[in-house]
Amino acid sequence: MEVVRIVMLGMTGVLLGLFLKGTRPEYSVYMSLAAGVLIFFYMTDKLSYLFSSVMKIQDYLPLDVEYLSTLLKIIGITYIGQFSSGICKDAGYGSIGAQIEIFAKFYIMVLSMPVLLALMETIHGFLS
């Protein structure tokens, strides 16, 4: 039930942020940031399990290491991009948050290009 803990932490941060927004608006952003950082650090603790699971998959399947490292990079970029974009939006800088999201999506597309090209080469090899 770790998800419940994270949800409760997030909801507590939101409620405290709303309370502070009425009395001290400048502190509501800090509360949002603190709750986000706590959730982020909790998530990084779980990353070791994710990495070990991906390495087990690599042991079972003859996959290129480059593809798995690309997958892990994409997961990291997605999380960091969403996290920082959410903080920017909470602070009232929605346009900067949107730019971070766009850049993260663009960079994911750039990272996935070698995988897509390898897939196209494989399909071309099957059709030839």
Q: How far apart are CA 90 and CA 67, in angstroms?
A: 35
Query: Is pTM, for the whole model, over 0.75?
Result: no
Structure confidence by residue, pLDDT tens digits, 2-40 = 888 888 888 898 888 888 888 887 888 888 888 888 888
Among residues 121, 117, 99, 97, the alpha carbon closest in space to that of 109 is found at: 117
CB atoms near residue 100 (< 10 Å): 21
User: Domain coordinates of the chain in residue numbers?
Assistant: 1-45, 63-128
- Say whether pLDDT at 41 is over 90: no
Calculate mean pLDDT across residues 62-70: 81
* Number of other CB atoms surrounding residue 81 within 10 Å: 19
φ/ψ of 24, rounded to 5, equals -135, 85
